[in-house]
Structure 1
Amino acid sequence: MALVGNLRDLKIPNLIQLNCMERNTAKLIIEHAGKYGMIYFQDGQIVHAEYDPDIGEKALFRLIGLPEGKFKVENGVRPPLVSITTHWNNLLLEGLHQLDTIQASEEGHDIRMVEMLMNVKGVHRAAIINREGDVLTGEAAFNKEYIILALSYYQAEKISRTVKRGKPRYLSLVSRSHRFIMTDYETNIVLVDVEAKYQLETVLPFIEQVLG
């Protein structure tokens, strides 16, 4: 019989300790904001984790940082592959250390917000960029693309002022495979890259919830 519950009652670090100390072979499924992550245990060790778009330790550390959600533990399920070889105790300590570091840092709020946006179903990337397209928080590997998107956002603001329609709350740009959603954040821009198949009205409530 599967163990089912809410992360408000039993946190992921506790679930990890429980499965590892009992030397379980199991699959832990976590659902948060419509997005699913998995942690696989084999003979009491964490051997694989998935949380789109990441696998392995990076996915595991993101899952450890989830503040809420639902979970289910399916016993006897073997991993589809082995992406983690570090001892579970070291993984848990590192995950908790990363979480403490983020929460204690001056940029912790922004980092946490980007992580929460990444947890929304369909989201591939999230970042805080300035008006020139420089990445302030988030992955900087797509900086040239961000510059173009920041320029597009600036042009949309300029057009709105010209036609006296007021400042747009959100700007959504759609390509064949991506939907880019942008909005003001203090003096900067929050950028969220979503799979194009997800409609704006589907993901926007989750994004608004994160941004408050």
Structure 2
Amino acid sequence: MAQEALCRKRHEGFNGSMVGVSLADLIQLKGTNRFSGCISVEFGGRCGVIFFQDGEIVHAEKGSCEGEEALQRIMRWPGGRFTAYPHLATDRHSIRKNRQHLLLDAHRAMDERHRHVDPKGERAEQTPLRERIRAIGMVSDAITLDFDGVPTDEKSPSADRLAAGACFLARLADRIGSRLGTGSPTSMVLEGTREHLFIYTGKHHLLAVAAGADHQPPMVEEAIRRAVQTA
């Protein structure tokens, strides 16, 4: 199979490590760059391959699986190393959906397998909510914060910036809701030219999520909703 040959020839391509970067992020990057070729992904002695044509995924293999099932299995790996082979094509086209729908379907499948053992014996690992949301390819950052605007799970300049924006927007929406008599909103979306900001209000905390402006807010909201529901 293609995956076996490519994993043996890793030195012939451009390789890197997915430390702090999800496979979904890598797929989004390849899509934005309209990449044509193949990437092989290795984790824990396992190997899978994903073929692209003009930024869209056309074929994937992992073991005896191929197509969307193979892609979903590869995306469940928590990390790994990848090798890119530009312009390496395949005559197999086992995937027809566009990239964004594939990513949403992959996250939906991971949600369904959350805390369960799948029929093939692979167990989905429980992941904190923030990390589950950050694993969404369309999301650039996610934090939880208290109602004073203090991040509860991370201390960094980027977290403080996101928390400040989220707290300001939540307080503004609360004041507007009070004046109009509609009450405080439980979710808000601020669409920007550089990024979109999504805010969700809980009993004790706020959840703030940032996503690139090139992504459609409804698709991001759907992915966030599924991550929250299964956390």
TM-score after normalising by structure 1: 0.52
Long gaps (5+) in structure 2 = 30-38, 48-70, 76-81, 86-125
Q: Which of the residues 162, 170, 173 maps onto 1:153?
A: 170
Q: Report if aligned partners of 2:145, 2:205 keep a CA contact under 8 Å in 1.
A: yes
Q: Once the 2 structures are TM-superposed, how far is the Cα of residue 25 of structure 1 from its aligned partner?
A: 4.0
Q: Which of the residues 148, 163, 184 maps onto 2:201?
A: 184
Deviations 1:106-141 (A, max 9, x none): xxx8x7111110111211100001122211124622
Q: How far apart, CA to CA, are the structure 2 residues paired with 1:178 and 1:169?
A: 21
Q: Once the 2 structures are TM-superposed, how far is the Cα of residue 34 of structure 1 from its aligned partner?
A: 11
Q: Report if aligned partners of 2:25, 2:138 keep a CA contact under 8 Å in 1.
A: no
Residue 137, structure 1, aligned to residue 140, structure 2? no
Q: Report if aligned partners of 1:34, 1:120 keep a CA contact under 8 Å in 2.
A: no
Q: How many pairs were matched up? A: 139
Long gaps (5+) in structure 1 = 4-18, 47-67, 81-108
For residues 18-167 of structure 1, what are the structure 2 equivalents within 5 Å?
Answer: 24-25=8-9, 40=41, 69-71=72-74, 78=83, 112-138=128-154, 140-142=156-158, 143-167=160-184
Q: Secondary structure at the match of 2:133?
A: helix
The one-letter code of the counterpart of 1:147 is A
Q: Once the 2 structures are TM-superposed, how far is the Cα of residue 188 of structure 1 from its aligned partner?
A: 0.9
Deviations 1:68-95 (A, max 9, x none): 93328xxxx8458xxxxxxxxxxxxxxx
| Cα gap change, 1:169 to 1:147, in 2 (>3 Å) | same
Deviations 1:118-165 (A, max 9, x none): 111211100001122211124622214522320221110221122122
Residue 201, structure 1, aligned to residue 201, structure 2? no
TM-score after normalising by structure 2: 0.48
| Cα gap change, 1:198 to 1:78, in 2 (>3 Å) | closer
Q: Secondary structure at the match of 1:137?
A: coil
% of aligned pairs identical? 12
The one-letter code of the counterpart of 2:72 is G
The one-letter code of the counterpart of 2:170 is Y
Q: How far apart, CA to CA, are the structure 1 residues paired with 2:209 and 2:178?
A: 24
Q: How far apart, CA to CA, are the structure 1 residues paired with 2:221 and 2:141?
A: 15
Q: Once the 2 structures are TM-superposed, how far is the Cα of residue 181 of structure 1 from its aligned partner?
A: 0.3
| Cα gap change, 1:149 to 1:31, in 2 (>3 Å) | closer
Q: Secondary structure at the match of 1:70?
A: helix
| Cα gap change, 1:141 to 1:39, in 2 (>3 Å) | farther
